[in-house]
């Protein structure tokens, strides 16, 4: 892949995250349609009964309902070939039901790392590791 292609993939990921950070479910859904292949392979815990881009939309519906002010800050990216790795910090305020937890009003800040594979300018595969342990401890669901 050319340097221009790698840079284009990184730029696409940044535009996708800008849409995610809008907090608007419709904007997020449209961004998924634009930047993510419909049959994306999503290797992370996802809601049952969905796959591909629809699973990703459900994940964001859950997150936006639970954390309406959720913000994903890209701390760094590494690009090679058809892949972009993003190390992110996620912040938000727990104002809706999440993982069975009633809203606590608590703020969360946790880290995640995702590897995105691109083809023809769209995300075709996602592999992620999210620090859910820190998130759940901050919400009081687990002891510190």
Any domain includes 144: no
pTM above 0.95, yes or no: no
Q: What is the CA radius of gyration of the chain?
A: 15
Predicted pLDDT at 5: 74
How are beta strands 122-130 and 36-43 bridged, if at all? Answer: parallel
Cβ(128)–Cβ(115) under 8 Å? Answer: yes
Any domain includes 57: yes
Any domain includes 81: yes
Any domain includes 143: no
Any domain includes 40: yes
Residue-wise pLDDT tens for the chain (144 aa)?
555 678 899 999 999 999 999 999 999 999 999 999 999 998 876 666 778 999 999 999 999 999 999 999 999 999 999 999 999 999 999 999 998 999 999 999 999 999 999 999 999 999 999 999 999 999 999 887
Residue range of the domain that includes 112: 3-138
Any domain includes 103: yes
> How many independent structural domains does the chain possess?
1
Check which CATH number belongs to the domain holding 134 and give it.
Answer: 3.10.450.50
Distance of CA 16 to the CA centre of its chain: 9
Any domain includes 102: yes
Distances (CA, A) of 124 to 72, 97, 144: 20, 30, 37
Any domain includes 109: yes
């Amino acid at each position: 892949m050319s340097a221009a292609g790698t840079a284009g993939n990184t730029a696409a990921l940044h535009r996708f995250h800008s849409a995610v950070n809008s907090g608007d479910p419709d904007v997020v859904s449209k961004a998924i349609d634009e930047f993510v292949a419909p049959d994306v392979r999503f290797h992370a815990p996802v809601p049952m009964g969905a796959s591909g881009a629809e699973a990703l939309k459900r994940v964001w519906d859950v997150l936006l309902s639970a954390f309406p002010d959720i913000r994903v800050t890209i701390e760094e990216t590494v690009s090679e070939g058809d892949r972009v790795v993003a190390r992110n910090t996620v912040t938000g305020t727990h104002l809706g039901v999440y993982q069975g937890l009633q809203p606590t009003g608590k703020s969360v800040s946790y880290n995640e790392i995702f590897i995105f594979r691109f083809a023809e300018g769209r995300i075709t595969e996602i592999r992620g590791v999210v620090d859910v342990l820190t998130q759940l401890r901050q919400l009081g669901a687990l002891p510190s």
